[in-house]
Amino acid sequence: MSVNMKNLSESDVKKALPNVDLKAALKSALMGLSDGTSKQPNKTIVELQNDKGDCMFFTGVVESLGCFGVKASPYLVDKSAKGENPVTAYTMLVSSETGLPTVMCDATYLTVARTAETTGLAVDLLLNASSAKKVAVIGSGQAALAHLEVQLRDRTWEEVSVFSPSLAASEQKVEAFKRLGHNALEIASSAEDAVSNADLVMLCTSANSPVVNSAALKVGCLVTSISTDAKDAHEIDPKSLQQMDVYCDYRETVALKAGEMSIAKAEIDWSYDSIVADLPELLSQSTTVETEKTRFWRSTGLAIEDIAAAFAIAEA
């Protein structure tokens, strides 16, 4: 049986992205978790011998798109030792009608883009937008740039502040942020200065320890966090969850990936039952956001997001 499969490179992805409403595609897939047309199991990790690396497999189905999908993301220690990027990512889509593969997509940059758009969706649902004036970003890599780009596209901000320990010393990174085009963009001297009086704080790092002092956060602000898949990785003090309203992308899988939550559960008897809502619940309007407390939203990344993103790029 012949297979007609699209192969999409990273350059294909970047070329198509401006023509794709990625947030709408993600929203549809996430809403499917409420009615059962999307299904999201936990990730699987396979380790190589002698600590040479591992590969994470993210699987799911989005019936509204007629496809299963799997993203494979290897981490190879030998590549890191050679100074190469040790992480790659590829998403394959398989038709739920024919059982044949339809798309193979380089998902390295697409993962960055879909993560920023998913955070943007959470911000749409959780931010007190009418009074929001300042956004702060902690981080200086591709994820930080993509997150800020989405926010500058989606709403008007009076103040924009960015901090990373390495940012001030890198003219190239500073210029990348300036090219986003906000006249009031400030490169802060510390994380605390960056988040001071910010209505939205986006944590966009791969840290495994807090990157901002929770006491410096404005009461009632929204904090978003992406962190990484590493064990116990976290960007805020786990103890601060007790003083926040906590949200996530999907409560059924968050326990395996959100380090601050697992640490809080072990050390301060915090409970996953304290999660107010996840994105499917917010999108289905089964939960209303009415709070003056600081809100914390945790992204863990879902295969159905990868599936929806790759499908949208392939159709562009």
Question: Average pLDDT of 272-284?
Answer: 94
Choose between 242 and 292: higher pLDDT.
Answer: 242
Residue 219: how many other CB atoms lie within 10 Å = 8
Residue 290 scores a pLDDT above 80? no
Residues 186, 216 contacting (CB under 8 angstroms) = no
Tell me the percentage of the chain whose pLDDT exceeds 90: 82
pLDDT tier at 286, thresholds 50, 70, 90: low
Reported as type and span, the H/E element at residue 68 is: strand 67-76
What are the residue boundaries of the structural domains of the chain, listed by start? 6-110+305-315, 112-301
At the top level of CATH, the class of 6-110+305-315 is alpha beta
CATH level 3 topology of 112-301: Rossmann fold (3.40.50)
Kindly report the average pLDDT of the chain as a whole number: 93
Residues 162, 146 contacting (CB under 8 angstroms) = no
Q: What is the pLDDT of residues 33-72, one digit of tens each?
A: 999 999 999 999 999 999 999 999 999 999 999 999 999 9
Cα separation of 149 and 143, whole Å? Answer: 10
Residues 284, 31 contacting (CB under 8 angstroms) = yes
Q: What is the pTM of this model?
A: 0.95
pLDDT for position 128: 82
Say which residue the tokens 């997150």 belong to.
147
Residue 193: how many other CB atoms lie within 10 Å = 14
Give me the sign of the Cα torsion angle 135, 228, 297, 16. Answer: positive
pLDDT tier at 229, thresholds 50, 70, 90: confident
Cα separation of 67 and 48, whole Å? Answer: 29
The identity of residue 62, as a single letter, is V
Cα separation of 149 and 290, whole Å? Answer: 27
Cα separation of 172 and 144, whole Å? Answer: 14
- Kindly report which listed range (27-31, 156-160, 232-236, 304-308) carries the lowest average pLDDT score: 232-236
Domains 6-110+305-315 and 112-301 share a fold: no
Helix residue ranges per DSSP H, the chain: 10-16, 22-35, 77-81, 108-126, 142-154, 171-178, 191-195, 259-268, 279-283, 303-315
